[in-house]
Structure 1
Amino acid sequence: MKLNFSKVEQAFLKESKLQKITTRTPYVAVDSFPKLGLLSALSFLEWVAENPNGVVSLPTGKTAQYFLQFTHLMLENWDTPKGQKIREEHGLADVKKPELSGLQFVQMGDFYPISSEQHNCLLNFVLKNYIEGFGLDINKALLINSDEIDLAEGKHFSEVFPGFNIDLSLRYREAKTQLEKLQQASIFKIDQWCTEYENKIREKGGIGFFLSGIGPDGHIAFNTRGSDHFSSTRLKETNFETQAITAADLGGIEVSRNRLVITIGLGTLGFNPKNKAIIYAAGEAIAETIKNSLEDEPSVVYPATSLQRLPNARFYLTDGAAVKLNDAVEEYYIDGPWTHQKTERAVIELCSKINKFGGKLTLDDLKADKYCSMIPGLSENTVQEVIDSIQAKLKKGMERDKNQIYYHTGPHHDDIMLGIMPAINRQTREATNEMHFAVMTSGSNAVTNTFLRDLLEDTVKMLDQGKIEMINFPNFFDDGYKYKWDKDIYHYLDSIAAQDKEEQRRGVCHRTIRALVTIWDAKSESDVREVVKRIIENLDSTYDGGINPPKISRLKGMIREFEEELVWAHYGTMVKNVHHKHLGFYYGNSSFETDVLPILEDFRKYKPTVISLAMDPQGSGPDTHYKVLQSVAKAVEEWNKEEDLSNLRIVGYRNVWFKYNPWDVEVIVPVSLNSMATHEKSFKECYITQVNASFPSYQLDGAFSDLAQRTWFEQHKQIQFLLGKNYFYENSSPLLRATHGMVYMRDLNVQEFLQEASKLGKSMEGIF
């Protein structure tokens, strides 16, 4: 394959670990999500400098964050020493500052129907960030505005499609009612609008520069799996994966399941053979999709394979997103000295590749494998050495620690549980251990308006029935509401034991009353009722996915805090040991005082001997996990100046989004069916806002606890391939005989942890 990289791409390629490109579409890999944004921005500006009146289609949504940031920073600093340095280092030294006003913008897609005034409407994003933000001419733009698409009888979509439900089968069947006839005629008018939109794009010569993220199923714009590679602009349904990732924007999958989309087609992208079509992706969660999109022949199963016919098509990736490419796997083995970690990976992957248990592998099997044959000193003992090292990790995962003070941290609610719950189960059973759980951000976005409305209505009913007795206690509204938080928790868990759903709900209503009094400073029952009335009125006037006022957001967050307290109370942890940190960066107010000091003060106060944290920083969206990791690292660094932390252990975990491999970790924790059952039951009983999975993972149409169990089982299969099934069911250890899952964890000392955090920080920051 002839590689015709631009000057910007060549500059980034020189910095990349991956130099040998063998994929069907060329790519450039960088070491961080921010750098991915810089590459995308510079590539865009490079193209605009040569095509000042060109046709562009640019990304919408959260993943566009760094692309927008660096485009603005470069334009504002083009001729400053700072900007000149960046340009000189990345192939733009002699390029004049581009002028964006002549560009012709094409919106690649939007939900349908959706009001153009909603903040979660993609048109709203385009108007704010590209028309206004980049200074593009709206008169040269092709935009998708649901409010302006003509429907039958001149009616608005809210009249034609009650509840925003559109039955596309009306394209092919007889309309049976007057409403269906109106809807059928309107669908055909939308189809005609889409055809005209497509024609307008082609009249412009087609898209010349296209930049977009990629969905978990490989979708581009809204061209999901199965899309015709020559498809045009159209109104279409989405699939589950797309519905899951858009649930957060639309206010829950209950909404996104029923919302259609208008999207340009894969044929739209291919119309201009010179189209610079760029797909960018970050994080290991998308790695399998990237591998198939870049290495497979063109297939409707992977829409991005349609770009193979475009000579200027590119993929811009983080190392995490590229990790499963054949190029990356080969680079892993040939880069630097050979390590035991490489030996472990080569042998474990060989077991899977040839479907053989480790104990059955022969020396000939090892020699025949491309990577196992590279193992220094390859011999009959090689496999046993790997088996021994994995068993040592298992042994470490079975150890019972005593007299430890654990400080488990999670970026969001349920991260700790989904990451390392089976390990925590054993820690809590030892009475000499002290447990602390700290969630670093608010969980308000995970609570739907519908859930909150139902809860508030139930709370009023409880008040009407006299079932909220605490509200009548003396001094309750003075300061009584601040006490006995553990009583609410105990009441709820007691009701679980009694299998009394009504009393469980009453327990939630108790906590809701406390939250209402705390936030709105209510002084009487009538005040509480008035507050509830105003909240419900606000919710009723807010569209799905709309931004809540700060106080309502805080109320939602306090509901999530209650859930977190319920989970750990299952194992005897008191409310005072569950810490809700609300770090400042989450609210746009980042500083040492808001992000680091709250954690450091806890370290000083509780003096943990073990700290856990999520170590999956190469995400593809808002970098909450990375920021929490850095905040914890800085707190540890400061604390290290004050105390001897030579015995402090740092446990790194990953959850259902990002997964470790057995060769990445120092500890493997066996998980029994009993532990899985406990995990599932406590998740579904305590995370009441998540039981119906309004914001599910795209990997599973169900609760996150089910996905965690699947992850643990798949990890067990990896180990089982190496050790053999009989190692488990014939083992002398009852725990290993009962094992059907595995949790992988890092185990680092302070120095090792700070070195990793520092290395990550250098790759993520300091670009400007």
Structure 2
Amino acid sequence: MQENTSVMLTPVEAAAVRASSFDILYHPTEKIPTIVVENFPSLGKLAAMRFIEWVQNHPGGVISLPTGKTPEHFIRWVQRLLADWDKPETRKILDGAGIDPGTKPDMASLHFVQIDDFYPLDSAQHNSFYHYVKKFYIEGFGLDPAKALLIDSTAIGLRPGERLTDVWPDKHVDLTLRYRLAQTNLERRQKTLLEDVDQWCMEYERRIRTLGGIGFFLGGIGPDGHIGFNIKGSDHNSTTRLCPTNYETQAAAATDLGGIEISRQCLVITIGLRTITRNPDCTAIIIAAGQAKAALAAEAIQAPNHINIPASCLQQLPNARFYVTQGAAAGLTERRIVSLGQSKTVSDDDVEKILMELAVQCNKRLVDLTDDDARTHPLAAMVLQRRSETLRELTQAVHDRLIGKIETGVSIYKEKCFLHTEPHHDDIMLGYFAQVVRHFRRVTNRHHFMTLTSGFTAVTNEFMRAQIANLRRFIEAGTFAELIAQGYFAQNNMIDRNRDVWQYLDGVAGRDDHEKAEGNARRMLRNLIELFDGDFLNDIDRYTREIEEYFATTYPGKKDPEPIQKLKGMCREWEAECLWGYYGWQCEDVRHLRLGFYTGDIFTKDPSMDHDVPPIVAELERIDPDVITVAFDPEASGPDTHYKVMQALAEAIRIYLKKHAKPDLKIWGYRNVWFRFDPSEANVFVPISLAMFATTHDAFMNAFITQKDASFPSHEYDGPFSLLAQRVQVEQYRRIKTCLGREWFHNHPSAMIRAARGMVFLREMSPGEFFQSCRELRQSVEAR
């Protein structure tokens, strides 16, 4: 690609632009230069190369680097380059990226500025950003701790021997104390500490200015568009401060902090937007990966400067950049036009996507679109230029394609064996539950369910504490003495394992909380006996008290020891067995693989060819499925675990098919609340009725008891995932209804279609089509 002469490019950037199919800036739409790379690892590599290049040219400079999962590959690449700088292969990589391999950057000369952290969070906790920065940047990059400006909450304003919990016992910081009179001794101490924090923030800002401001800033973009913790609505002249957050930020932080119950209470200390932009020579780079970030990136790059778009403040910096993956670039208008123009043909999928966008934009049926409408949409105008058909012919073709997808969605397979897979225990329910239930009704179909990870990170300590307390009540009442004597809780006793489920579901049916509580307690006791190899029964009181004490005293968000991880995961496995028990499926039909790459670390390991793939292959051999369902989330769009599970499944299916000829094997790709199909990407549309919405929500709230309080919710919805899934499916239906017209649904001869108020999108694929959509696990592992 030709370089845009209006933008000064460094050698690294010039090399990246040449490797891209895009220019770095498209006037007048784009206001921040942007480089598009192929995938998430490539994004981290580009950011690392630009960082190394900047450090080479600015020894002693001031840097500010991000926390969280987004910089994973950036950190890995920087550490790799620094550790292997003198190796020939590293020098070749550096030279190829436009970096002089002769001068190793002087990392110890740099000044580091921490961007943000939660308050009042003990900095010693492993889930604090202070801990993250020290581990991955100060130690990991070899920076000089004496030259680092860090946000250590435990060092701000506390008296000798005083702890944050002494001043903020419920972790709630009342900012009204800035303005009102304190009423109690505790409030007077809180007010003083609050003033000390505000003073510290002012001094932090002054220290950054004394250094000359930030020279290199690297950041991600939050679910509301925040940069640092400068949430939507932040003043672009803001400086370092203690401030509250919004719901979107609290939801995104829930996983780090152990639940939204905790993140709702936390404030944040963050540098301001003006802190970032004060140095006019600052190189400020925002990295964004995956289509889920596309709208946010497009807004920041294309929209006018506005307080509701925090990253738009970077438009004033000549050296500001966005580095994005192809998915994250999906909302950049000019680049979509360039891509369409560069393609050899305009495919039917392209036509469908663009004309549906036009129909929704005009709020018209497809068949009612006019040439004047098409001229208002640059991509639609290009479609008409490049396709030989008229607009009427194209809209009719898309109309017919949509109807064909719905007709496929209402058809039911028979005499098939289904293997339903999911990364987490509620992914199937939130993704395509209605389609599963419909296929249950054909008695000739067989169904197996397989969860690939233990999902323990979605279980709060408070939930576990309540479950242990519930168990203790039944034990102390002697309820389980006879069952223990009968061998009810013996390992591998599948009959009585199923009885746990039946006991609980009897309580659901009878709306009897005591029966449900007993079912929960039975399974908890069974899990503890399995976890401690039978020793648990010899000293039940000691074990339960120790476990209860652990959950009462461990800070939320702490990485649990392996036995506790396993126990939390067992609670999620119990939920899946209860859900499928609704329809008569037994525990033998539900498999829990607990793949080892899922560890609860900030950067989850990649699946292993030796350890994670063979168990999946063994299940494929045992089940011999005709249909395999997969959470089909592209890299960095859905949760990281979804993508990694998809890679492990793809590799396992490859191995399985080398031994077994299965020419008719089908792969159903599904998505749920984390990421959605564009209708043009899906080829099966499943109508959802109000009755199915009610069934789904009731089952979710009764089966997924760890999730019903929404401790780890989506940033899009403040409530349980079942209702968010309903909202997503309603939105999908409304989009199709606009394109086909409400009359098509309301006057349809099928009651199922007339009853539709939601829509599930699926993508049915052959194994070959599925493999084309996956980056091979073997290649991924070898590239590390």
With over 3 angstroms needed to count, the CA separation of the structure-2 counterparts of 1:38 and 1:108, relative to structure 1, is same
1:766 is displaced (CA, Å) by 5.9
Higher RCO, Cα 8 Å, sep 6+: 1
- For residue 597 of structure 2, give the secondary structure of its aligned residue in structure 1: helix
1:508 is displaced (CA, Å) by 0.8
2:650 matched residue in structure 1: 633
1:612-636 residue CA offsets vs partner (Å, 9 max, x unmatched): 1011122168732222112111111
Q: Map of 1:414-433 to 2, 5 A cutoff?
A: 414-433=426-445
1:74 matched residue in structure 2: 81
- Looking at structure 2, the residues matched to 532 and 9 of structure 1 have their Cα atoms a distance apart, in angstroms, of 58
2:388 corresponds to 1:377: yes
2:20 corresponds to 1:16: yes
2:367 corresponds to 1:359: yes
How large is the RMSD of aligned CA atoms in angstroms?
A: 1.9
- Looking at structure 2, the residues matched to 676 and 462 of structure 1 have their Cα atoms a distance apart, in angstroms, of 35
1:495 is displaced (CA, Å) by 1.0
- Looking at structure 1, the residues matched to 431 and 468 of structure 2 have their Cα atoms a distance apart, in angstroms, of 32
1:669-703 residue CA offsets vs partner (Å, 9 max, x unmatched): 11111111111111111100011100000010011
* TM-score, scaled relative to structure 1: 0.97
With over 3 angstroms needed to count, the CA separation of the structure-2 counterparts of 1:245 and 1:758, relative to structure 1, is closer
8 Å CA contact retained: 1:563, 1:687: yes
- Looking at structure 2, the residues matched to 136 and 722 of structure 1 have their Cα atoms a distance apart, in angstroms, of 57
- Greater CA drift, 213-222 or 411-420: 411-420
1:108 is displaced (CA, Å) by 0.8
- For residue 402 of structure 1, give the secondary structure of its aligned residue in structure 2: coil
1:603 matched residue in structure 2: 620
1:154 is displaced (CA, Å) by 8.6
Which residue of 678, 694, 711 corresponds with 2:695? 678
Instruction: Flag structure 1 segments of 5+ consecutive residues without an equivalent.
Output: none
8 Å CA contact retained: 1:21, 1:327: no
- For residue 101 of structure 1, give the secondary structure of its aligned residue in structure 2: helix
With over 3 angstroms needed to count, the CA separation of the structure-2 counterparts of 1:368 and 1:325, relative to structure 1, is closer
Which residue of 325, 345, 360 corresponds with 1:318? 325
- For residue 107 of structure 2, give the secondary structure of its aligned residue in structure 1: coil
Q: Map of 1:450-599 to 2, 5 A cutoff?
A: 450-468=462-480, 471-476=483-488, 479=491, 483-523=495-535, 525-587=537-599, 588=605, 590-599=607-616
With over 3 angstroms needed to count, the CA separation of the structure-2 counterparts of 1:686 and 1:344, relative to structure 1, is same
- For residue 388 of structure 1, give the secondary structure of its aligned residue in structure 2: helix
8 Å CA contact retained: 2:607, 2:648: no
Amino acid at match of 1:228: D
1:482 is displaced (CA, Å) by 5.8
1:393-415 residue CA offsets vs partner (Å, 9 max, x unmatched): 11111111100111111111211
8 Å CA contact retained: 1:477, 1:523: no
1:341 matched residue in structure 2: 349
- Looking at structure 2, the residues matched to 169 and 283 of structure 1 have their Cα atoms a distance apart, in angstroms, of 39
8 Å CA contact retained: 2:167, 2:189: yes
* TM-score, scaled relative to structure 2: 0.95
- Looking at structure 2, the residues matched to 331 and 371 of structure 1 have their Cα atoms a distance apart, in angstroms, of 10
1:584 is displaced (CA, Å) by 2.4
- Looking at structure 1, the residues matched to 778 and 729 of structure 2 have their Cα atoms a distance apart, in angstroms, of 30
- For residue 321 of structure 1, give the secondary structure of its aligned residue in structure 2: coil
- Greater CA drift, 507-516 or 488-497: 488-497
- Looking at structure 1, the residues matched to 777 and 340 of structure 2 have their Cα atoms a distance apart, in angstroms, of 21
Which residue of 744, 749, 769 corresponds with 1:752? 769
Q: Map of 1:432-451 to 2, 5 A cutoff?
A: 432-451=444-463
- Greater CA drift, 471-480 or 574-583: 471-480
1:299 matched residue in structure 2: 306
Which residue of 115, 124, 130 corresponds with 2:122? 115
- For residue 238 of structure 2, give the secondary structure of its aligned residue in structure 1: coil
- Looking at structure 1, the residues matched to 584 and 292 of structure 2 have their Cα atoms a distance apart, in angstroms, of 34
Q: Map of 1:35-74 to 2, 5 A cutoff?
A: 35-74=42-81
2:716 corresponds to 1:704: no
2:198 matched residue in structure 1: 191
With over 3 angstroms needed to count, the CA separation of the structure-2 counterparts of 1:26 and 1:470, relative to structure 1, is farther
1:202 matched residue in structure 2: 209
1:85 is displaced (CA, Å) by 2.2
- For residue 291 of structure 1, give the secondary structure of its aligned residue in structure 2: helix
Amino acid at match of 1:741: G
- For residue 188 of structure 2, give the secondary structure of its aligned residue in structure 1: helix
- Looking at structure 1, the residues matched to 251 and 482 of structure 2 have their Cα atoms a distance apart, in angstroms, of 40
1:256 matched residue in structure 2: 263
- For residue 381 of structure 1, give the secondary structure of its aligned residue in structure 2: helix
- Looking at structure 2, the residues matched to 381 and 572 of structure 1 have their Cα atoms a distance apart, in angstroms, of 49
With over 3 angstroms needed to count, the CA separation of the structure-2 counterparts of 1:448 and 1:349, relative to structure 1, is same
Which residue of 273, 277, 290 corresponds with 1:270? 277
- Greater CA drift, 727-736 or 80-89: 80-89
8 Å CA contact retained: 1:106, 1:141: yes
Q: Map of 1:597-746 to 2, 5 A cutoff?
A: 597-619=614-636, 623-746=640-763
Amino acid at match of 1:464: E
With over 3 angstroms needed to count, the CA separation of the structure-2 counterparts of 1:696 and 1:524, relative to structure 1, is closer
1:190-209 residue CA offsets vs partner (Å, 9 max, x unmatched): 10110001000000000000
Amino acid at match of 1:377: S
1:115-159 residue CA offsets vs partner (Å, 9 max, x unmatched): 121101111111111111211111111111111111489954222
Amino acid at match of 1:595: D
Q: Map of 1:101-140 to 2, 5 A cutoff?
A: 101-140=108-147
- Greater CA drift, 411-420 or 449-458: 411-420
1:174 is displaced (CA, Å) by 2.3
1:526-549 residue CA offsets vs partner (Å, 9 max, x unmatched): 522221111112223311211222
1:62 is displaced (CA, Å) by 2.2
1:293 is displaced (CA, Å) by 1.2
Amino acid at match of 1:300: I
- Looking at structure 1, the residues matched to 15 and 328 of structure 2 have their Cα atoms a distance apart, in angstroms, of 20
1:525 is displaced (CA, Å) by 4.1
2:171 corresponds to 1:164: yes
- Looking at structure 2, the residues matched to 478 and 654 of structure 1 have their Cα atoms a distance apart, in angstroms, of 38
Amino acid at match of 2:337: E
- Looking at structure 2, the residues matched to 753 and 132 of structure 1 have their Cα atoms a distance apart, in angstroms, of 41
2:9 corresponds to 1:5: yes
8 Å CA contact retained: 1:477, 1:522: no
- Looking at structure 2, the residues matched to 235 and 369 of structure 1 have their Cα atoms a distance apart, in angstroms, of 44
Instruction: Flag structure 2 segments of 5+ consecutive residues without an equivalent.
Output: 600-604
- Looking at structure 2, the residues matched to 515 and 648 of structure 1 have their Cα atoms a distance apart, in angstroms, of 36
1:93 is displaced (CA, Å) by 4.2
1:158-214 residue CA offsets vs partner (Å, 9 max, x unmatched): 222211111101112222222222211221111011000100000000000011111
Q: Map of 1:385-424 to 2, 5 A cutoff?
A: 385-424=397-436
8 Å CA contact retained: 2:648, 2:777: no
- For residue 389 of structure 2, give the secondary structure of its aligned residue in structure 1: coil
- Looking at structure 1, the residues matched to 638 and 117 of structure 2 have their Cα atoms a distance apart, in angstroms, of 19
